[in-house]
Amino acid sequence: MVDAFPRQITVAGPGSVLLAQKPGWTAVHGEPLPQTNVILLFEPEAIAVLAGPPAGPLATGQAISPVYAQAASDELAVPTGALFLRVRQGERANDHRAALEQLGCRITSLPDHAPEAAWLRASSGSIADALGCLGRLRDLPGVESVEPQLLRRRAHR
């Protein structure tokens, strides 16, 4: 099931970071949340990180994903399937809707305060498909950046 996911994803920004699948870890997305082997829980998003695979079959509407981390790091990152896109200053993300749809993505939200930005999901609804679109979206003319939404353990400073 996690074979459909990229083995590695690049998170850009100031200095690119390469995240790789963390063997032995699985994220279950959707209700009901598992009760066993739960290492990390994101309740509002209904995502549980497990040590190992789910104990039983998935319920209707549930999905699984791999968990990612930087090499030699224990900081886990769980993809949600949402992507944040920014186009060049002076352009509107909504003007790229047709090109995004041709690549298999749909705009789910346009922030009022940032017309050059948009939240996307894969048209299929698949988290794997969303992550698979990253490279093609980054190569789209006018795109400044596109990043996967990743959930991480809350860090206290």
Residue 129 Cα to chain centre, angstroms: 10
pLDDT digits (tens, 9 = 90+) for 23-36: 999 999 999 999 88
Give the count of beta carbons closer than 10 Å to the beta carbon of residue 17: 13
Mean pLDDT, the chain cut into blocks of 10 residues (157 residues total) = 88 83 95 92 95 91 95 91 96 96 97 96 97 95 96 76
What is the per-residue burial (b if ≥16 Cβ within 10 Å, else e) of 63-90?
bbbbbbbeeeeeebbbbbbbbebbbeee
Give the count of beta carbons closer than 10 Å to the beta carbon of residue 102: 10
The pLDDT value given to residue 13: 65
> Do 8 and 18 meet the contact criterion of CB atoms below 8 Å apart?
yes
Amino acid present at 49: V
Of the candidate CATH numbers 3.30.70.1350, 3.40.190.10, 3.40.50.12660, 3.30.70.80, the domain formed by 80-152 belongs to 3.30.70.80
The pLDDT value given to residue 154: 76
| Domain limits, CATH 3.30.70.80, in the chain | 80-152
Q: CA-based angle 96:137:100, to the nearest 5?
A: 35
> Do 28 and 48 meet the contact criterion of CB atoms below 8 Å apart?
yes
